[in-house]
Chains A and B, each alone.
Chain A
Amino acid sequence: MAATRAALSLWHRIAALLGSLLGLLGAGGTRAADLPADTAEGLLHVYNGGGVTAWGPALLVRKSVADRFSLTGSYYLDAVSNASIDVVTTASKYKETRHEFALSGDYVYRDSQITLGGSTSHEPDYTANRFNLDISQEVFGGMTTVALGFTRGDDTVKKKDSPEFSDKARHWQYRLGLTQILTPQWIMSVNAEALSDDGYLGSPYRAARVFGAAVPERNPRTRSARALMLRVKGDLGSRDAISASYRYYRDTWEIKGHTMELGYSRYFGDAWLGDAYLRYYTQGNASFYSDNAQSETLYVSRNRQLSTFHDVALGTKASWTWKKEPGKYEIKLNGALEYARFNFKDFTDLRTGDKYSYGATIFQLFVTGTF
């Protein structure tokens, strides 16, 4: 709690500092930020990996209202069929459906944009509500964009077939972003985020292993994290672009994560746009994580999401412009495919005794219309 208060007062000071700086630099910056274009998007998403299949449709509609406002509404459905290694070794396969609704509004005035939004996600044993506020400001002749963001979340955790179990989790996220034009061909961005979680942060279905026996996991009731991402993107001159990014993550559970991604995009002819990317992720385990704990500790978890592992992913996207009327509307058909391989260092597959590894596939098919 004291850590949260300290984090909050720190962020207040940053926000006040930036606020006054932005005021001083407003001079000369009269370029107008663009209101996001009217959009309608339909998505079919599929995930299959590690015994889990989750798929469903998603929809997004964005409409500008009264010249300066833009409203966005979206719906997301996840039909999950879970036969993951945790589930098959400690319980039995299950199915459930998750619904998510989100609504947000954008307001643009000169070089500034304010976004206010909320979302609610519901599955039979988990409800998550989020509220977010984002402000972005173009400064320095439009070469730099400064963005501040805040998200507040409230979750209710229940357990299937156990009506007596009910707990809560609260989340705070503070974001600071800087996008900087470097040259007429290169752009970079720095994003920093502070995350704070409070309450029930585990899963009532997951078991930990202590001296070979299964016990309910015991997680801390607070978690505080920092993440920093650097991204750079450049136009290569022949209707193609290259991008690279690196993200560092660290939290009070002593997890350290590194994410690296390299991407390449290219136009083919008049109507096609293709992307390819390579992503590498590696993390160190949480302090209380253990595959098979050999001592009694206050906290213990066998959640493989908190273990030492790395994953490599290769992905590709393709976009085809179906109909286009410049200045009027544009309809595109898109597909995306990614394959990732997860390799765990300190999580064993109880069925074989070897270190666990699995492959995961993400597939998307979507239609985008901008008006």
Chain B
Amino acid sequence: MRLSARTVPALAALAAALLLGGCSSFSMPSVEPWVKPYERERLADPIMQFSRNSLPEKHVEHVRDVREGSRGATGVQGGGCGCN
């Protein structure tokens, strides 16, 4: 997969398409939110969070950043040293 500078605006367009679905005044067919707020019990449980504790996750992320060549897009909040 070529992840060029064109992919990012394509992602933004995808995000826009998803967002536009909720606005019925546009000519695109409108999509109503299909999971109602009162159906979100399972998703509200901490087990369903992508990130539970920022501090230990930051440590693991730091170890990976130092040992591996890939960085970013993990959802873990910034900060870093670069440690050599």
CB pair B11–A123 under 8 Å, yes or no, is: no
CB pair B53–A176 under 8 Å, yes or no, is: no
Q: Which A residues between 1 and 33 are near B, CB-CB below 8 angstroms? A: 6-7, 10-11, 13-14, 17-18, 21-22, 24-25, 27-28, 31
CB pair A338–B3 under 8 Å, yes or no, is: no
A262 at interface by CB-CB < 8 Å? no
CB pair B78–A130 under 8 Å, yes or no, is: yes
A216 at interface by CB-CB < 8 Å? no
Task: State how many residues of chain B have any CB contact under 8 Å with chain A.
Answer: 60
**Cα–Cα, bound, A144→B43 (Å):** 13
CB pair B75–A189 under 8 Å, yes or no, is: yes
CB pair A338–B60 under 8 Å, yes or no, is: yes
With A7-B5, A58-B55: A204-B84 Cβ-Cβ less than 8 Å: yes
With A123-B81, A240-B47: A43-B11 Cβ-Cβ less than 8 Å: no
**Cα–Cα, bound, A43→B54 (Å):** 11
- Min Cβ gap A226→B in Å is 5
- Min Cβ gap A260→B in Å is 12
CB pair B50–A249 under 8 Å, yes or no, is: no
Q: Which B residues between 1 and 41 are near A, CB-CB below 8 angstroms? A: 1, 3-5, 7-9, 11-12, 14-16, 18-23, 32-37, 39-41
With a cutoff of 8 Å between Cβ atoms, the chain B residues found around residue A143 in the complex are 33-35
Kindly supply a per-residue 1/0 record for chain A positions 105-140, scoring 1 wherever the CB is within 8 Å of any chain B CB and 0 otherwise: 000000000000101010101101010101000011
Q: Which residues of A approach B to under 8 Å, CB–CB?
A: 6-7, 10-11, 13-14, 17-18, 21-22, 24-25, 27-28, 31, 41, 43, 45, 47, 49, 58, 60, 74, 76, 80, 98, 100, 102, 104, 117, 119, 121, 123, 125-126, 128, 130, 132, 134, 139-144, 146, 149, 151, 153, 155, 157, 169, 173, 175-185, 187, 189-195, 202-206, 225-229, 231, 233, 235, 239-241, 243, 247-250, 255, 257, 259, 265, 267, 273, 281, 283, 286, 305-306, 311, 334, 336, 338, 342, 360, 362, 364, 366, 368
Q: Which 6 A-B pairs have the closest CB atoms?
A: A141-B33, A257-B70, A203-B84, A227-B73, A249-B70, A193-B72
Between A and B, 20 residue pairs with Cβ closer than 8 Å are A21-B19, A25-B19, A98-B81, A130-B79, A139-B19, A140-B18, A142-B37, A143-B33, A144-B19, A146-B15, A146-B19, A157-B84, A176-B8, A178-B15, A183-B35, A206-B84, A231-B50, A235-B47, A265-B47, A334-B53
